[in-house]
Amino acid sequence: MVFFFRKKKAASSSDLVIPNHVAIIMDGNGRWAQSRGLPRVEGHRKGAESVRAACESCVELGIKHLTLYCFSNENWKRPKDELDFLMGLLKKFLVQECKTLLEKNIRLTVIGRRQGLPDDILDEMDSVIDRSKNCTGLHLCLAINYGSRQEITDGVRSIAEKVQRGEITPSEIDEQTIANSLYTSGVPDPDLLIRTSGEMRISNYLLWQISYSELYITKRAWPEFNKADMVQAIEEYSRRHRRFGGL
């Protein structure tokens, strides 16, 4: 069962158990804006500031991996003007934040299908990924044009192709084989999954990888999510006892 968490007495930094990998479903941008009488796109603009705050929090807390659900492949169903704004916002982020990422020693990667993304977005994406590849601090992964079922489908297809080429036999396929075929190959599974805006679903996000992740649901919309909220989530994570099926 997943609960909403109220603010509790803050733990000292020495009491915190820091997750190695945090994944976030950044939800509620449009509703946050509409509740304030603003266009939905203003929620996305404000949400970009929360991305910066989340990265800064992870650097300060010592979290090694942060994966953000930026744009799902189902989001293409949205109105064209909103899609155009989102693509423009993504490009602006890549251009403007590249210097900051390098200064903060943050390495950028992206997971998702490249097909369908504008060429100028892909060019900026590839540029920042290449320029930050030797950074050794926080690993920031953006899930863009991403869907977990599609990821698993692509992974199964790549395994089938290896079987067809005689590189592997069906009996040799195990969980590690599947994990290695996913977009996140080589990255540890998330210890903590945060979802904002109170929705109680996973939304086709990292379905294989979050098998044993702790879930933290907050009613705070993503544009409101700040450093204090991140610390509160880590405090709650620190109070959990992860059994991984054992006692």
Q: What is the pLDDT of residues 90-136, one digit of tens each?
A: 999 999 999 999 999 999 999 999 999 999 999 999 999 999 999 99
Q: pLDDT at position 241, please? A: 81
What does the alpha-carbon distance between residue 156 and residue 65 come to, in Å, rounded to a whole number? Answer: 25
The string of pLDDT tens digits covering residues 44-69 is: 999 999 999 999 999 999 999 999 99
Annotated catalytic residue, options 27, 29, 73, 191: 27
**Beta partners for residue 215, in sequence order:** 193
194 vs 210: CA distance, rounded Å: 11
170 Cβ contact list (under 8 Å, min separation 6): 163
- Cα distance between residue 36 and residue 34, in whole Å: 5
Which domains, from first to last, does the chain contain?
18-147+189-238 (3.40.1180.10)
Contact (CB, 8 A) for 49 and 223 = yes
Q: Give catalytic status of residue 75 as yes or no.
A: yes
Is the whole-model pTM more than 0.85? yes
Q: Which of 29, 73, 75, 119 is catalytic?
A: 75
- Cβ(41)–Cβ(85) below 8 Å: yes
